[in-house]
């Protein structure tokens, strides 16, 4: 048999699962079974034997068949409010792509004389769009929207004689910017939602604005460092400003007047952002009644679904035969694999907690690391997750390890919020391999970036990420 990655997964998964079962006789039946299932699923996720979402479903199904979960409740998480938040924000992003709003935003920045002066400034323009957009739209959607435009620009300005390097670094920087921007808001990246959900289960409620206030300093620090790091590579490349001006001029001819579809999308998007931020603002201002009202009746998921429904209801002018800004076809085109992975994965994560496995792992880590040494503990947890995320989906790692880390922190009697924030952020800061995050996979798929270039460039940023995240978490804990 030819040993493809898939075949390796099919062999290693059952072997590892049996090893885990054999090595854990001291655990209760429930905890031992969940550990075995998680080991099996982790290998399937890493080697992508079947789609990631189907692996999550397989894990839950095994739990039901082995008697540690009830079929009536096992798949309840598929109707979780977070799933609705996902669907709504994916549909918002779909509307941006469909009506060309993404390209308009890109061209608006690229037509500014400041960004046309050098290749690095051009990169700064693109990476900043990527960083900003991915706060509000999933990071994978952001990179997918920008990629066609970026490839056009890199073909124009990155000369073949200094190799494909400048094009590779340009594209890598855009992917990294999206991953970094995605940590800034609850909806920016799947692990953020997972972390907030698990914290809520422990009675720690984090609203949209509170997450932004905590995560934005980390993402801005990391973005600044990444930009300086990329400048080192891009400053060596030759560059012709006239070529870029001609390209922008040609494309701006097609984007003169705002189409009705763009106006509707922009309007709905702004309404959604205002409603997402409102509860946090009221909370800051001490308006308790307004905060309670907004949190109850306009929760993040409610707002996302409301925004999506408005896009289906409001027609984009005459050009659309009486249909809405979004149509039934758009429903098919959003990332259902991630949405289903989320539902199945949360069910698995819940089993890690309810079976007592999280507590067991938590207690065993506390015997290795001195609880008094918080600096080392936080750094080890963040680095561990960051490295694991390199070889598996960041969503899958968050689903698996956030409940375990909550168990560790509870075992040590430490506050949950800041270390969990650090670990969740670390899930998105994997820059070395295509499998680590969707943005990496998308730019690798463009055939302009080799795995070697991605791994070498990403290794340094991984180290930066672990240190910066640890520093911010310790600052928050000391305050």
Q: What is the 3-state secondary structure (H, E, C) of 228-260?
A: HHHHHHHCCCCCCHHHHHHHHHHHHHCCCCCCH
**Which residues does 465 contact at the CB level (< 8 Å), separation at least 6?**
222, 386, 426, 429, 431
Mean pLDDT of 270-277: 86
For helices 190-201 and 336-354, give the axis angle rounded to 10 degrees. Answer: 30
Cβ–Cβ under 8 Å, residues 336 and 56? no
Instruction: Give me the mean pLDDT over the 164-192 stretch.
Output: 87
Report if pTM > 0.85: no
Position 163 pLDDT exceeds 50: no
CA distance 259 to 268: 15
Lowest mean pLDDT among 45-49, 209-213, 338-342, 475-479: 338-342
- Of 26-30, 217-221, 295-299, minimum mean pLDDT range: 295-299
Enclosing H/E stretch for 17: helix 5-23
Distance CA 255, CA 259 (A): 9
Q: How far is CA 247 from CA 235, 259, 315, in A?
A: 21, 21, 32
Q: pLDDT > 90: what percent of the chain?
A: 25
Position 176 scores a pLDDT of 94
* Mean per-residue pLDDT over the chain, rounded: 83
Distance CA(257)–CA(264), nearest Å, equals 14
Signed CA dihedral, 212, 184, 416, 352: sign only: positive
Quote the pLDDT of residue 220.
Answer: 96
> At 452, phi and psi to the nearest 5?
-60, -45
| Of the candidates 189, 207, 187, 209, the residue with the CA atom closest to the CA atom of residue 199 | 207
Mean local confidence (pLDDT), 104-111: 74
Say which residues have a Cβ less than 8 Å from residue 450's Cβ, sequence separation at least 6. Answer: 168
Closest CA to 395 of 150, 45, 27: 45
pLDDT of 136 above 90: no
Q: Span 134-152, mean pLDDT?
A: 76
Tell me 125's DSSP state.
H
| Cα 290 to chain centroid, rounded | 30
Q: What is the pLDDT of residue 452?
A: 78
Whether the predicted pLDDT of 161 surpasses 70: no
* Position 20 confidence tier, pLDDT thresholds 50, 70, 90: very high
SS3 state of residue 414? coil
What do you get for the CA distance between the two ends of the chain, in Å?
A: 58
DSSP state of 327: -
Angle, helices 451-478 vs 208-234, to 10°: value is: 140
pLDDT over 80 (residue 150): no
pLDDT above 70 covers what percent of the chain? 93
> What counts of helices (H) and strands (E) characterise the chain?
24, 0
Give the contacts of 190 (CB within 8 A, at least 6 positions apart). Answer: 86, 138, 338, 342, 394, 395, 398
pLDDT band at residue 319 under the 50/70/90 scheme? low
Specify whether the CB–CB gap between 80 and 51 falls below 8 A: no
Mean pLDDT across 136-150: 75
Instruction: Encode pLDDT of 397-440 as tens digits.
Output: 788 788 888 888 887 778 889 999 999 999 989 898 776 777 88
From CA 176, how far away is CA 127, in angstroms rounded? 8
pLDDT at 80 over 90: no
Instruction: Give the pLDDT confidence of 286-315 residue by residue, as tens digits.
Output: 888 998 898 889 887 888 899 999 999 998
pLDDT for the residue 164: 47
Interatomic CA distance for residues 185 and 272, integer angstroms: 13
113: which 2 tokens? 């004389």
Per-residue pLDDT at 105:
72
- DSSP at 107: H
* CA-based R_g, the chain, Å: 23
């Amino acid at each position: 048999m030819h040993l493809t990655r898939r075949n390796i997964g099919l062999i290693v998964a059952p072997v590892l699962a049996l090893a885990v079962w054999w090595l854990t006789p001291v655990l209760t039946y429930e905890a031992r079974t969940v550990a075995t299932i998680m080991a099996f699923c982790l290998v399937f996720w890493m080697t992508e034997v079947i789609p990631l979402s189907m692996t999550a479903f397989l894990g839950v199904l095994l739990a039901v068949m082995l008697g540690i979960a009830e079929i009536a409740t096992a798949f309840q998480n598929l109707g979780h409010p977070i799933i609705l938040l996902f669907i709504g924000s994916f549909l918002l992003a779909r509307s941006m792509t469909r009506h060309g709003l993404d390209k308009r935003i890109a061209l608006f920045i690229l037509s500014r004389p400041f960004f046309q002066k050098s290749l690095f400034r051009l990169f700064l323009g693109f990476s900043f769009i990527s960083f900003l957009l991915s706060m509000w739209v999933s990071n994978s959607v952001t990179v997918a929207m920008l990629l066609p435009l970026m490839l056009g620009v890199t073909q124009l300005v990155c000369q073949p004689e200094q190799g494909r390097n400048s094009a590779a670094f340009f594209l890598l920087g855009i992917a990294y910017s999206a991953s970094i921007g995605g940590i800034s808001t609850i909806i920016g990246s799947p692990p953020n939602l997972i972390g907030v959900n698990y914290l809520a289960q422990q009675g720690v409620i984090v609203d949209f604005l509170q997450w932004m206030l905590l995560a934005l300093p980390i993402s801005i620090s990391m973005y600044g460092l990444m930009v300086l790091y990329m400048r080192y590579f891009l400053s060596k490349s030759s560059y012709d400003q006239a070529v870029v001006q001609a390209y922008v001029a040609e494309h701006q001819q097609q984007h003169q007047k705002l189409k009705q579809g763009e106006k509707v999308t922009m309007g709905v998007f702004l309404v959604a952002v205002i409603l997402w931020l409102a509860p946090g603002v009221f909370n800051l201002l001490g308006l308790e009644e307004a905060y309670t009202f907004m949190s109850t009746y306009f929760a993040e998921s409610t707002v996302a679904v409301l925004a999506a429904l408005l896009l289906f209801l409001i027609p984009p002018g005459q050009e659309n035969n009486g249909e809405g800004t979004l149509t039934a076809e758009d429903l098919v085109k959003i990332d259902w694999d991630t949405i289903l992975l989320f539902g199945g994965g949360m069910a698995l994560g819940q089993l890690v907690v309810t079976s007592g496995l999280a507590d067991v792992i938590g207690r065993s880590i506390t015997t290795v690391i001195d609880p008094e040494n918080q600096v080392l503990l936080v750094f080890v947890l963040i680095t561990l997750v960051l490295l694991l995320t390199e070889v598996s989906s960041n969503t899958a790692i968050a689903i698996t390890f956030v409940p375990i880390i909550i168990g560790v922190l509870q075992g040590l009697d430490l506050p949950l919020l800041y270390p969990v924030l650090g670990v969740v952020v670390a899930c998105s800061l994997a820059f070395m391999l295509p499998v680590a995050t969707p943005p990496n996979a998308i730019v690798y798929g463009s055939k302009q970036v080799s795995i070697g270039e991605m791994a070498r460039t990403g290794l340094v940023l991984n180290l930066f990420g672990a240190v910066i995240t640890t520093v911010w978490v310790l600052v928050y804990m000391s305050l």
